[in-house]
Amino acid sequence: MSEPALKIYAEGRVAGKVALVTGSGRGIGRAIAHKLAAEGAKVVVNDLDPPTGDAVAAEIVAAGGQAIAVNGSVTEAGFAERFVQAAMDQFGGIDIIVNNAGYTWDATISNMTDEMFQAMMDVHLVAPFRILRAASEPIRIMAKKEAQEGREVFRKVVNISSIAGLFGNAGQASYSSAKASLVGLTRTMCKEWGRYKVNVNCVAFGLIETRLTQAIETDQKTVDIEGKKIKVGVQPALLDTMAKMIPLGRAGKPEEAANAVYMFCSPESDYVSGQVLVCGGGILM
């Protein structure tokens, strides 16, 4: 079945808002970018691979929306400042930040190298920290101006965690640690940025259908992450076991994952902050 065409609703729930979404060239990130664009947001897309990020921005523009791509690794020096400044220069503000970029690099702790552990911390924790830090001054200035004008304008941050970060997962000491730390960053920024009317929340995904969780058929596939060949995929028997643990009986789709993120981006979440929402089909570890 072909994917439905992207439709832009000019009077959507986030119409006119400027949304920055990392890792939005594929999978869940792409679905988030499409969802926010469909609801009227101007989107700053990002992907490690420039053609992939550019393609998503082009999809949004072709559908009648507004988008630009700021590609590159979220872990590289200066990326956070470049990402935030592009939003300010092109669209004149920042309203929504979704820290979604990431991948897994698994091993039991006896086989896990310092490089593997640090890579997970860098992409899942340090990169979101840097992006929020880069956005802090523009947000402060905009919030101060709005307060002086007597206007209450809410902004949104959604950090992407995982049930591995909440409950742990064998073979993922690094990934679980980074995702757990991201919950701490979320709750701290909720307290720091409440005075600026910024809602800071977290979505923890369970099993979602992406290239990282595809079934391994014959040979295990790899993805290239900054010159590193990272194995991806899950053994079919394990996928079946995981699906049986999910009350809804199946893995989630990227569009369903995007809907959970969108809930925290919409005006309906204006009095919700510092929360962690599990998007996992009812799974409770």
Helix axis angle for 254-265 and 27-38, nearest 10°, is 50
Assess if residue 126 is contained within a domain.
yes
Please indicate whether residue 9 is annotated as part of the active site: no
Residue 60 in domain? yes
In a domain, 5, yes or no: no
Tell me the CATH number at 153: 3.40.50.720
228 located within any domain: no
> Which entry of 175, 196, 262, 271 is annotated as an active-site residue?
175
Is pLDDT above 50 for 38?
Answer: yes
Q: Per the domain annotation, does 48 fall within a domain?
A: yes
| Total structural domains within the chain | 1
* pLDDT the model gives residue 22: 98
Give per-residue pLDDT as tens, 74-125: 999 999 999 999 999 999 999 999 999 999 999 999 999 999 999 999 999 9
Give the model confidence (pLDDT) of 168-226 as tens digits: 989 999 999 999 999 999 999 999 999 999 999 999 999 998 876 665 665 656 677 87
| 274 or 229, which is more confident | 274
What per-residue confidence (pLDDT) applies to 220?
59
Residue 43 has pLDDT above 70, yes or no: yes
Structural domain containing residue 177: 18-206+257-278
Q: What is the pTM of this model?
A: 0.92
| 197 in any annotated domain | yes
User: Which tens digit of pLDDT belongs to each residue from 140-160?
Assistant: 999 999 999 999 999 999 999
Identity of residue 29: G
Rounded mean pLDDT, 253-271:
98
Nearest to 164 by CA among 211, 219, 123, 205: 205
Neighbours of 150 (CB within 10 A): 6
Would you place residue 1 in the very low, low, confident or very high pLDDT band (cuts 50, 70, 90)?
A: very low
40 within domain boundaries: yes
Residue 226 has what pLDDT? 77
In a domain? residue 227: no
